[in-house]
Amino acid sequence: MRTLCMLLTIITLAITWAETPATIAPVVSRVKDLARIQGVRENQLLGYGLVLGLNGTGDTAQTQFTTQALENVLQRMGVTLAPGKLKVKNVAAVMVTADIPAFAKSGDRLDVTVTSIGDATSLQGGVLLQTPLAGADGRVYAVAQGSLTLGGFSVESGGSARGSGHPTVGRIPGGALVEAEIPTAFNTQRVLTFALKQPDFTTAARLAAAVNAKYSGTARARDAATIDVTLPAAYQEKRVEFIAALGELTVAPDTVARVVINERTGTVVVGGTVTVLPVALAQGNLTISINAALLVSQPEALSGGDTVALPTADIEAKEPRVSFAQLKGGTVEELVRILNAMKVSAREIIAILQALKQAGALQAELVIL
Bigger pLDDT: 302 vs 248: 248
The four Cα atoms 138, 143, 147, 152 give a dihedral, to 10 degrees, of: -30
- Domain ranges (residues) in the chain: 2-22+258-290+313-368, 29-39+185-251, 43-178
Eight-state DSSP code of residue 181: P
Sign of CA pseudo-dihedral 235, 239, 241, 247? positive
Contacting residues for 53 by C-beta, under 8 A, at least 6 apart: 90, 125, 126, 127
* Per-residue pLDDT tens over the stretch 155-201: 555 555 555 567 899 999 999 999 998 888 777 788 999 999 999 99
What does pLDDT average to over the chain? Answer: 79
CA 129/CA 127 separation, integer angstroms: 6
Which residue pairs from 215-224 have beta carbons closer than 8 angstroms and sit at least 24 positions apart in sequence? 223/199, 224/196, 224/199, 224/200
Give residue 133's pLDDT. 96
Mean pLDDT, rounded, for 40-66? 88
* Per-residue pLDDT tens over the stretch 144-155: 999 999 876 555
Global confidence as pTM? 0.68
Cα-atom radius of gyration of the chain, to the nearest Å? 33
User: Is 108 a residue whose pLDDT tops 80?
Assistant: yes
Mean pLDDT, rounded, for 222-240? 91
Eight-state DSSP code of residue 182: P
CA 196/CA 198 separation, integer angstroms: 5
Half-sphere exposure of 278 (CA within 13 A, CB side): 10
Asked if 118 and 99 count as a contact pair (C-beta separation under 8 A), the reply is no
User: Is 230 a residue whose pLDDT tops 80?
Assistant: yes
Burial class (CB in 10 A: 0-12, 13-18, 19+), 355: middle
User: Is 305 a residue whose pLDDT tops 80?
Assistant: no
User: Is 115 a residue whose pLDDT tops 70?
Assistant: yes
For 52, phi then psi, to 5°, come to: -110, 170
- Read off the amino acid at residue 232: P
Q: E strand or H helix at 210, and its extent?
A: helix 201-214
User: Is 304 a residue whose pLDDT tops 80?
Assistant: no
For 210, phi then psi, to 5°, come to: -65, -40
Asked if 108 and 142 count as a contact pair (C-beta separation under 8 A), the reply is no
29-39+185-251: what fold? Answer: Gyrase A; domain 2 (3.30.1360)
Bigger pLDDT: 334 vs 259: 259
Task: Place 236 in a pLDDT band, splitting at 50, 70 and 90.
Answer: confident
Give residue 154's pLDDT. 57
Mean pLDDT, rounded, for 289-299? 61
CA 271/CA 256 separation, integer angstroms: 8
**End-to-end Cα distance, the chain:** 29
